[in-house]
Structure 1
């Protein structure tokens, strides 16, 4: 190093170290020691301390993911992976908390059905707790309700001809004396404490015992810098969190420290606080190398990520560095696909779980869309929403780690072998189940989350399929968060994919953007699933300037040459009819004319006769009289010439 720089380095270092020697009483103290050390009560539950915070207790007194809400109510609420839990008991000595699911409190028929999931890096199930499985919408292989009245049955009809019951453990039920196989639309797993599980096992199962077991809750072990907190309290400090950068903080009478109140190692009468030395070294390095500007930019990006992690608490997925991403993907050796955003690789987490890693093309800037996707999907927990397991945000390298979907995307399979009813293509029954599943996922996004999420890019490419062809909505890069009572969004620019974008998104004259924009995209996708594009490609002789939905509508109305496959069963024909009708309802030009996703699910699961005939979307051509449309559509759908 140049002698002049050496001299500057030495003088600056001595100055900074002398500053650190100033007694703590002379330094600024934000009052964290007094604030976080004061007793904290929430909903009348004793004295609560770190890692919990909430109510009038600020977030720097707790640990991300441990915020308690409803402190003025009857019981504290802890949210883990978008699931709300009633806090029944907190054991600071054993580092455990006993909780019960809020959605299953005094009911076995919640609005949304999903498994009990945790952030494994924060919470762990205790080995003594046992799972019970709630089976919803169960029926025989012939589609009939279960003819037996089991003691474990409970009232919750997912549709008009279904039964619901529960079993201990995760195995599918085996009913003595009943040989026909049983299928259920949804099975969710819920832990209960050991005593409640034993009582259910030895007693005659009943709805009363089930509700008691669910209300008794289960225990979770937490990990929130446990060792560091113990060391801090033993030294006379109070545990908390340093918000910038995000790290553990030990609040002491003479100020905050990184580990304990005795963490300032003294050498020759000079106090060498570790955080201060690190800060001093960074300043010196920036000064000597003249790289402060670029470092500040990196720190600003990291600060945004750290703030996101803190604000989302337990909802935030695990953060990986780029070297870990390379290990997970075995140096990107198994590519699953590629798009304009980047590439997707198959990977394996350290515990052996298969994952899909979406590595984005190198980008510059703040990465707003990237963090938007992470933030949006982190708020969700639903069987029809893909699970985001982790992410990487390291300078201009960004990646997303999703659960692995062996059947890839709906787009990959929808036209695998030609027309929708051709050999090798997805069966109509499977297409119907996918349509229902996506509708349930959108219903959850629009009304089941704490914050309403509008996806803005529903299309076959963004619908992933697991090993059972259960659909999962993915790719939240264009998603928009808004309040549940917010009906119209402010102008956010055109977003989506051509062919699926609602009219109001690119032209405000049709109305304001809202969750109804997702419903339009869903309708276009359902029509495509039913074979609308193939109908146009094969049968239409009209000019290409006409939109394909307009042509399909005309073909259906005037029944030109279109017929159902002669080998289709009556059940498949009914499924196709429903999908066409629902699709046209969803793509109505005026947003207010489109049904909600709850209504869409009702139409799909109800009888064909109960679905009213939709009018023709007027964006493409004038509406036709309803009586003419009704009779023509009926004739077409019956396959008559």
Structure 2
């Protein structure tokens, strides 16, 4: 009996249904919620004639009373004073400043209560300098680099903002609203003072005429016939329903609510194709072009620079598009590019990213001539460490493990401080952290960076170690400043460059280190040794990205020379030699796939790949 009483404490209050002469009996979402009566009405539980247009309310899953303000700004109604015609509302997500740019009361029936607030034009600023004590800090807008402030436009003329960027202009809002999550609104029409004076309530009999407001008695009539049986059935059904929900569905409900809350806060915006045209100024400034589309520079609200990738309408873009949005849309890390929004308008698809002014790592390490940007070895090490931390986050920091499968210099973008950000998740795969291997129907990636096991399962199982291999190739290219594959370079050495690095890393006459100072020499050797650890042919011999980050952060003395991933072989491999030994080598693979002959690996991987001295 005691357990029965305990469960009843969790039940919602069951109020007998009464019937008034107009069917507009006042109701409430819960016993602590305000009463809903004219001019307000419950949008789904009361007829349209019970309320005034623009005064519709709803009950959410927490049994809070919700009012939707223009444009799609949801607030919880805490109090309704029908005498003074004011309401107290609250932001359920506790981040009211984030919603103010979208709040426009000019199209609603409500106004800010002037007696309580000073109305002014304001703005939200993003500042890299944290010392802004004169302005109101907005703690709910989280950013690992910047802080956000709510600023009265009048103050900006008296105290100029340095190291700050204006994010949004906000017109005619109460100044004190910035550090609160609630505020009061008032309405002037309709007025029911004459009905209240008569001890009656208002009702809109004809919803097509806004002036046909009638006064009716407050006390509704109740139909008592069969009420006892009806109430008993309601209590029994409520008990069974709540028992099942409380005992079985509670944990799942918590997970769903958390997901919906996180998704509302973090999901990228959706744009129409006309928005994309406006943002890019009719596709005026092209940044680059690739196999999947063209990238243009654009602006949001004429202030924030963005990069817009407009996808081609070729086969495969559907999967590429969905993959990119679903994967990067849930990632928030300083070394992963941020997806601002996307466009899926008919056959038109586009992805809108934050704009990074220093282009890709490929332009930095491979560009020749007067336009080449020269970075010191310390900065190159910082870039390598940032990339490693970004990949580590993808592998271990998300709810699901994210395998990129296309780590290469072209997919590493650099911001204004040359901090790296990983981009292009079109080939990525999501998998459980407990999943030790990934199933793929076809190889994916870019030749020269693809791990051996992605091309042939003979070398091992595809896993997060495939990204480690690609990162190792990227590190060696940063050291050599040359691509590991370039079909346009003539007079090159037949020796594979990573193999050449391994053979000369400790040589005193190594021309790679010859003209580098002592500090740069140390960094170049560290990047080379970490890269050689990462490109071990057997996936189990490669370190995890967490271990790679520790290697890059530690001292050179902590690094040991990796095993030689390039067994000795002849300098040339002929097609006939490949065909005659294939059967024997396949058997060797089955016995020990990490001890394959280097000449076959080169043939399988593409013999035309070049190596440079």
Q: TM-score, normalised by structure 1?
A: 0.51
1:459 aligned onto 2:455: no
The aligned runs of 1:443-458 (5 Å cut-off) are: 443-458=392-407
Indicate which of 434, 441, 444 corresponds to 2:383.
Answer: 434
**2:365/2:481 contact within 8 Å kept:** no
SS state at 2:549 partner? helix
Q: Deviations over 1:412-441 (max 9, x none)?
A: 11122379xx98532212211110110111
CA drift at 1:262: 12
Give the distance between the partners of 1:360 and 1:488, measured in 2 at CA.
Answer: 31
Give the distance between the partners of 2:502 and 2:282, measured in 1 at CA.
Answer: 49
Which residue number corresponds to residue 290 of structure 2?
Answer: 339
Give the distance between the partners of 1:547 and 1:129, measured in 2 at CA.
Answer: 54
Q: Deviations over 1:298-341 (max 9, x none)?
A: xxxxxxxxxx9999443321111111111111111111111111
The aligned runs of 1:484-503 (5 Å cut-off) are: 484-503=433-452
Indicate which of 314, 320, 323 corresponds to 1:369.
Answer: 320
RMSD, aligned α-carbons = 5.1
Give the distance between the partners of 2:205 and 2:435, measured in 1 at CA.
Answer: 51
1:416 aligned onto 2:367: yes
Give the distance between the partners of 2:557 and 2:439, measured in 1 at CA.
Answer: 39
CA drift at 1:94: 2.0
CA drift at 1:489: 1.5
SS state at 2:519 partner? helix
The aligned runs of 1:224-303 (5 Å cut-off) are: none
Give the distance between the partners of 1:329 and 1:400, measured in 2 at CA.
Answer: 12
Give the distance between the partners of 2:506 and 2:297, measured in 1 at CA.
Answer: 46
> Which has more radius of gyration?
2
Indicate which of 351, 356, 367 corresponds to 2:307.
Answer: 356
1:552 aligned onto 2:548: no
Q: Which runs of 5+ in 1 are unaligned?
A: 1-31, 42-46, 53-62, 67-90, 100-116, 135-166, 172-185, 195-217, 228-260, 267-307, 624-641
**2:513/2:521 contact within 8 Å kept:** yes
Give the distance between the partners of 1:583 and 1:322, measured in 2 at CA.
Answer: 43
Give the distance between the partners of 2:475 and 2:205, measured in 1 at CA.
Answer: 65
Indicate which of 573, 578, 583 corresponds to 2:531.
Answer: 583
Which residue number corresponds to residue 468 of structure 1?
Answer: 417
**2:144/2:334 contact within 8 Å kept:** no
Which residue number corresponds to residue 599 of structure 1?
Answer: 547
Which residue number corresponds to residue 94 of structure 1?
Answer: 90
**2:58/2:66 contact within 8 Å kept:** no
**1:356/1:402 contact within 8 Å kept:** yes
Q: Deviations over 1:545-593 (max 9, x none)?
A: x543223323436777535133x22111111011001001111112222
Which residue number corresponds to residue 379 of structure 1?
Answer: 330
CA drift at 1:360: 1.2
**2:66/2:74 contact within 8 Å kept:** no
CA drift at 1:97: 3.7
1:616 aligned onto 2:564: yes
Which residue number corresponds to residue 564 of structure 1?
Answer: 513
Q: TM-score, normalised by structure 2?
A: 0.53
Which residue number corresponds to residue 404 of structure 1?
Answer: 355
Q: Deviations over 1:500-531 (max 9, x none)?
A: 11111111122222211111111110111011
CA change 1:496–1:39 in 2 (3 A) is: closer
Give the distance between the partners of 2:44 and 2:309, measured in 1 at CA.
Answer: 43
**1:556/1:562 contact within 8 Å kept:** no
**1:589/1:619 contact within 8 Å kept:** no
Q: Which runs of 5+ in 2 are unaligned?
A: 1-42, 46-56, 76-86, 104-121, 135-142, 152-177, 186-203, 210-258, 570-593, 596-613
Length, aligned pairs only: 390
Give the distance between the partners of 1:569 and 1:390, measured in 2 at CA.
Answer: 45
**2:73/2:99 contact within 8 Å kept:** no
